[in-house]
A and B are shown apart, each in its own frame.
Chain A
């Protein structure tokens, strides 16, 4: 069975600090997809990134970067120079390959608070 663990439940930082959100996953599939979603206080789920299991390149998008390590089954998310607008709940999710059950299995989420 698939499982996503986000061991951190709440993180509080001061603006401009860097922060890393951890995600560890479990799956028996060799092909799978990993995702990060952001849920701001308004409640909607905002897609941030998708990664497939064959692409271990780290990715950077502005202040966001992702580190995917198959060897440790981790897909960590770093926000550099955090801002108050980054305050939200962040979910890591795992999906089986297409053609199977494509549901997303979510972690419990990490509540990030960025203080001015």
Chain B
């Protein structure tokens, strides 16, 4: 158990819908990262938050957005869903992005299926 929790574990929805994925980082970790794992794109970085502020953006679609709340949990919002958004979405957390190393601990993932 990495200490990172993600809810829900599975999500099935229809095209055009909007969903919210939730992540609680390990206790003490200030940084949260979101990754998408799909069959065609592999594991891709989406976005990083540090202590409530966006720090880095990867290949995140405009239909997707994220935020990190004062209690450090994070939510990834996916809207106008398409079939191609079906994937496993991972959240990871690390202590501090400015530390000498940045080991990221991954949550169990949320499997999103868009029908």
Contacts and interface: CB of A to CB of B under 8 A. Distances in A.
B97 A102 contact: yes
Interface residues of B, number: 31
A109 B42 contact: yes
A105 B35 CA distance: 10
A43 interface: yes
A45 interface: yes
Which of under 10, 10 to 19, 20 to 34, or 35 or more describes the interface residues of A? 20 to 34
| Main DSSP-derived SS at the A contact region | strand
Given A102-B55, A102-B102, A104-B104, 5 more contacts: A44-B108, A47-B106, A98-B99, A102-B97, A103-B58
Interface of B: 2, 31, 33, 35, 42-45, 48, 55-56, 58, 88, 90, 92, 94, 96-109, 111
Contact of B101 (A50, A101, A107, A109): A50
Nearest to A45: B106
Contacts of B104: 47, 104
A89 B2 CA distance: 18
A47 B56 contact: no
B102 A43 contact: no
Given A102-B56, A103-B48, A109-B43, A47 B99 contact: no
16 contacts: A33-B101, A43-B88, A43-B108, A43-B109, A45-B109, A47-B103, A91-B43, A98-B97, A98-B100, A98-B102, A101-B55, A102-B48, A102-B102, A104-B35, A108-B42, A109-B42
